[in-house]
Amino acid sequence: MSYGGALLSLAFTTASNGADLQSPWSSYPGYTKVQVKDFNRAKEKAFLVKVAYDLTPLGLEDVTTYALLVHGWDRINPRTGRDVANEDELDLDIQWKPKSGFFKNFWPRFQYGVVHQYEGAKSYIHNVRIIMNYDFSLL
């Protein structure tokens, strides 16, 4: 759904309880695969909500951002059948991709993700990425 430069996305995935989802493509292509976690484990259900916004109306031309939250629950260890702690992941992203001017081919991006395991041994995983892209022609 979109409105006034904002885009709202929702996604849901679920897996059977026999095994974690397998991927012959080397990476799981699911809707709830995000920056740190895939949310594709045995019996796991995951719900994603994402809000993206183009900041041009606020005077930041060619700057986009998004925030997303994934809640994963009901996961089990397929070998033992025992419950595994539920997790949430929050990801934030901001990027600038100028369409003209001196920095036209330069595309910096900053991403931050945090995973929170809130049952059993409570833990956090923090993931920071600074990505610098530069487009150039080889031919």
Domain ranges of the chain: 2-134
Q: What is the pLDDT of residue 104?
A: 87
Do the Cβ atoms of 125 and 92 come closer than 8 Å? no
Give percent helix, percent strand, percent coil of the chain, each to the nearest 5: 0, 50, 50
Q: What is the pLDDT of residue 48?
A: 97
- For residue 55, the one-letter residue type is L
The strand pair at 123-134 and 106-117 is best described as: antiparallel
For 105, left (φ over 0), alpha (ψ -120 to 50), or beta?
Answer: alpha
Q: What is the pLDDT of residue 103?
A: 87
Burial call 83-104: b when 16+ CB within 10 Å, e when fewer: ebebbbbbbebbbbbeeeeeee
Q: What is the pLDDT of residue 109?
A: 97
Q: What is the pLDDT of residue 21?
A: 76
Q: What is the pLDDT of residue 52?
A: 98
Do the Cβ atoms of 25 and 40 come closer than 8 Å? no
Angstrom distance (rounded) from CA 102 to CA 62:
14
**2-134: CATH homologous superfamily?**
Porin (2.40.160.10)
Query: Tens-digit pLDDT profile for the chain (139 aa)?
Result: 998 889 999 999 998 887 777 777 777 778 899 999 999 889 999 999 999 999 999 999 999 999 999 999 999 988 898 998 899 999 999 999 998 888 888 999 999 999 998 777 778 999 999 999 998 888 7
